[in-house]
Structure formats: C-alpha cells, structure tokens
Amino acid sequence: AFHELWTHSGIQSEENDCNCLLEILKELTTKNLDNDRKQYLTPLQDIDKIRYIWKELKLLVDADIIRFEIDEPPNWKDHAISNINNLKDRLQKANTSIHEHLEEMQAVDINDLTYDNPLANGIIDLGSSQYQLMEDDYDDLVGEKGGIRNLEKGALIKGVCADFVIKRNEIQNQCKFIIAPSETRRHKDWIEGENNRAQIAINITDTLLQETKRNALRKISKSSENALVDIITRLVEASIYQMPVDFDIEVTRNDRQSVASKKRKNRQVAGSRGNKPDLMIRAFFKQKWNELAYVESGKWKSTETKTLDDHNKLARLSLDGYTDMSKKTKKNELYKFYIMFGINMTAKLPFHNETVNEVEEFVHALLILRNGILVNLHEISHILLKKSKATTKEDAHSSSEDTTIKTP
C-alpha cells in the first residue's frame, strides 16, 4: 500500500503518509466485507506499527532497494524464477507461520505470474544484504518478548559455576603420572594401584548415573542403536580417562572407517574402503593415529545372527589392526605382549535392577580393557625407545667413521 501511495503521490512526511494509510484502512473496514477480512484489517490500524513500516520502507528506498518506475523488461520471468529460488533457499527446515506463507509464494506457477507481482518486478530485492533488521528497532518488533533478555541471574547458580571453576582448575593443575618406559609390564598384572582403579570405577559409575538420569533405559530399550552407541562412547571415555602413558588417546565414532582395514582391502582391490566399527580407540604415535581397539554395540535386544555378524566383523578388524601394528614395531617382540581388542557389546548395561555383583562385573570388564591398552602402549613405547636409541648409536658410529676417513 505504501509503495502504491508513493508511486502516485511521491514520498511525503512520515506523519502525512502514515495518517493517509490509516484512513485508507479505516475506510476499507467500513465497506461490505466478510468478517474474516475485517478481523484481518483491524489489527493493521495500529499507528505505531504503521510508522515502523514507513521507517523500514524509507530506509529501503534510500538504499535503492525499492524502486518505483517499473518498465517491463523482456526477461522479467527469469528474475521471478531467481526470486522464487532465493525464497526456496531461505525456507529450508523452517516451520513458522510466516515461512508457511512464504512457501505458498515460492510454489506459484511462473506462468500464472504477471509483471506487477513483487516476485517478478523486483520491487523487493530478496538477495540484498541490506535487508536486515535495524538494531534500534528490535524492541519495537518483538514487543514484550524482548523481556527474555532481562532474566536475572541467581546467586545459587553463580555458586555452582564458581565451584565448577575451582574443580576445573584443580583437574588442569594435576600432575599426570607416567610409567617409565624402561619398566616391563604384562597383562597378568594391574599397572595402576587399587586407589587409581577405584577412581576410574567412580568415573564409570558416575557416567552410568548420568545416563540413568537421562532416561537411557527408555531410549535404548526402544531399539535405538544410535543412543546405545552414544552411551557406550561415554562409558569407554570414562574408563580410559588420564591413562598414565605419554600418548594422546581418543575414542572415535560415527562409523569412521578403519585405516588398517582399508590398507588390507586396497591390497586386494584398489580404491576400497575400510570396515566401519561403531567405536575405535586410537593412540597417536609415529606421526599418525593408530588403532588399538574396536567396538560393536548392536541393539538392546540383538539377534543371534546380528551378534555373530558383529563377532566376525570384529575378528577381521582385529586381525587387520594387528597386522598394521606389526609393521610399525618389531613383529618378533610385538606378539609376546600385544592384544588387539575387539569388543562386542551384547549384554545389557546396568541401568535397571542389576545386583552389586553384576555392576562389579561390568566395571571390572572396562578396567581390564583400560589395563590391556595400558600394557600395549607401555610396551610399544618401550620398543620405540629402544629403536630410537639404536638409531642414535648407528648415527654416532657412522659420524665417527666419517671423521676418521676425513682426518689426514
């Protein structure tokens, strides 16, 4: 309406234009219209809203985003199609009432348009970067909803946050215990003392309690495999927290392909992709991530066929992982200690009415996994250290021979 008014009479003062439009709206409501139409027109007669719209449109005119002289070009339908496609891009994954209205606009048949339609004649440039809400007009636009910015902070919440900062700083300042690479370790012995293992057990049971609060049992009992994988990821991360080895360790998920599996398949067929376990535990050494363990979770109530398929998949992954690791260390030393872990999580997690002994068995299994990975990494570190010392001696010996040859 403002555009029509400005096209015929030019832009007047804000007061004149707004009052003129208000009179037009009032006149329309006195005509013989149906009730729905009248109910639609009544809230439009808010002078504050009209002034807000006038200011917005005036800004667009000043920025040359709205124009008045419309000469119909021969390719106006191309411009309309561009505007419609622009709308489609902006309407992705939106479900508000205004978007539903705009979706109807972008669904129009181009053959049904005439050049006086705003989608066609370029009155509104949907692609303009200047089509933004002015910061000063925020409160006018949102009204009482703007009060959400003023919700006060509570003293109790501040105390919780302060407690978090203290505990976080304590964790960051802790000294990490590292096992000396010169020591020999084997899988038949615990590497860490019982106090340390008890702390890891607390981490695991705390994670179980957090998952219980999140209604984990309800989610995974509905055969949500993705939810089960999420929970197992957090439990495995809790079980390998602060490992006493000088390696970075991570748990990967989202079906990341195994590099070891990919290498084996590529030797058979070029361009093949590796198998994808639900989870992998990896450590960083020799300038790359190396796979230490593979996990398949299945669903809460897996069939025997699914369990067997996962078992075979893990067996193949473990063999690939061991083969890949043997190429990075001395194979005749690796086989003496190294265990490549393939874990098939088919048992129910202790979220319901399990006894103390059942929970203990679950925690014990995760502690064994932690200890096994510790032994693997410690002995790999031992091999790499010996290899590094041998290389240093060879370099020194070679340097000595060079010196002898060059000396007169």
Q: Which of 103, 121, 149 lies at the terminal end of a domain, its last residue?
A: 149
pLDDT at 21: 84
Shared domain check, 216 and 115: no
Q: Yes or no: say if 222 and 216 are a contact pair by the CB < 8 Å rule.
A: no
Shared domain check, 234 and 108: no
DSSP-derived 3-state class of residue 139: helix
Shared domain check, 306 and 230: yes
Shared domain check, 223 and 119: no
Asked if the structure places residue 317 within a domain, the reply is yes
Asked if the structure places residue 368 within a domain, the reply is yes
Range of the domain at 111: 2-149
Question: At 70, is the pLDDT very low, low, confident or very high (cuts 50, 70, 90)?
Answer: low
pLDDT at 44: 79
Helices (H), 173-303: 194-213, 216-221, 225-239, 259-268
Shared domain check, 116 and 223: no
Asked if the structure places residue 125 within a domain, the reply is yes
Q: Taking 70 as the threshold, does the pLDDT of residue 175 lie above it?
A: no
Shared domain check, 190 and 106: no
Provide the greatest CA pair distance for the chain.
Answer: 118
Shared domain check, 56 and 10: yes
Can you point out the beta strands (E) in 365-406?
A: none
Instruction: Dump pLDDT digits (tens) for 239-286.
Output: 998 888 888 899 998 778 899 999 998 888 888 888 899 999 999 988
Question: The tokens 């006493």 sit on which residue?
Answer: 244
DSSP-derived pairing of the beta strands 341-344 and 279-285:
unpaired
Shared domain check, 104 and 208: no
Structure pTM? 0.56
Q: Taking 70 as the threshold, does the pLDDT of residue 91 lie above it?
A: no
Domain count, the chain: 2
Tell me the C-alpha distance between 227 and 297, whole Å.
Answer: 10
Instruction: Dump pLDDT digits (tens) for 355-381.
Output: 888 899 999 999 999 999 998 888 888
- 3-state helix, strand, coil split of the chain in percent (to 5) is 60, 5, 35
Tell me the C-alpha distance between 380 and 76, whole Å.
Answer: 71
pLDDT at 112: 62
Tell me the C-alpha distance between 33 and 38, whole Å.
Answer: 6
Q: Which of 122, 149, 176 lies at the terminal end of a domain, its last residue?
A: 149
Can you point out the beta strands (E) in 246-368?
A: 248-252, 279-285, 288-296, 341-344
Q: Which of 149, 172, 204 lies at the terminal end of a domain, its last residue?
A: 149
Shared domain check, 140 and 74: yes
Q: What is the pLDDT averaged over residues 294-321?
A: 85
Asked if the structure places residue 165 within a domain, the reply is no
Q: What is the pLDDT averaged over residues 320-324?
A: 90
Tell me the C-alpha distance between 175 and 173, whole Å.
Answer: 6
Instruction: Dump pLDDT digits (tens) for 45-55.
Output: 888 888 888 88
Asked if the structure places residue 17 within a domain, the reply is yes
Shared domain check, 239 and 141: no
Asked if the structure places residue 164 within a domain, the reply is no
Q: What is the pLDDT averaged over residues 289-293?
A: 92
Shared domain check, 380 and 261: yes
Asked if the structure places residue 159 within a domain, the reply is no
Tell me the C-alpha distance between 175 and 330, whole Å.
Answer: 32
- Calculate Rg over the CA atoms of the chain: 35
pLDDT at 11: 83
Q: Taking 50 as the threshold, does the pLDDT of residue 403 lie above it?
A: no
Asked if the structure places residue 197 within a domain, the reply is yes
Q: Taking 60 as the threshold, does the pLDDT of residue 350 lie above it?
A: yes
Shared domain check, 342 and 197: yes
